[in-house]
Amino acid sequence: MNNSSAQKMPSQKQVHKHWVDDPDNIFEDLEINQGGESACMACGWDIRPQRAHIIARSEGGGNEPSNIHLLCPNCHLESETLNEKYYWIWFKNKNQKFKTNLVFERLVEIGRDPKEVFSLLNDGEFYEAAKWFAEHKSSAFKTEESLQVEAKWLKKRIS
């Protein structure tokens, strides 16, 4: 047995910290929005995320944080059959769909007018826009760190 498969599975906190502090900036390069520690990294939902291997252990993947994402049960199940290349394509598309479509669908469902946030974005008020979105998301997105990350992501996407 190699060392990586014998390595203990890292905690959710360790996995989240790895991706927040990632020196390779994979999430930034892929324009992935990093949610809070208790949110699914693919879709953003705050529904009991599970530690999921990017490369399955049966395919040689280990338990190091760089091979693990925090995924909700649905995303974990969706990603189970994907190899590494297709996993990253799925991951980016899942995250982008959440960011662009589902947020606005949810706003309409709860009776909020998306024009409010468009005004903030047009004025370059990215942090205020991030706070506006946070009012309608799980508590995982309401930390100062998450608001800063969201504001940076919005600025990059809009500018």
Residue ranges covered by each domain of the chain: 3-158
Decide the pairing of beta strands 68-71 and 50-53.
Answer: antiparallel
Look at residue 33 in the predicted model and tell me its pLDDT: 64
pLDDT for res 61: 92
Contact 124, 115 (CB under 8 A): no
CB atoms within 10 A of CB 129: 24
* Cβ-based burial of 60 (10 A; exposed 0-12, middle 13-18, buried ≥19): exposed
How confident is the prediction along the chain (159 residues), in pLDDT tens digits per residue? 444 446 799 998 899 888 888 767 677 766 666 666 778 888 877 778 899 999 988 889 999 999 999 998 999 999 998 988 899 888 888 877 666 555 666 667 667 777 887 788 888 998 988 888 777 655 455 678 888 888 887 887 676
| Whole-angstrom distance, CA of residue 130 vs CA of residue 70 | 22
Instruction: Please answer whether residues 84 and 67 qualify as being in contact, where contact means their C-beta atoms are separated by less than 8 angstroms.
Output: no
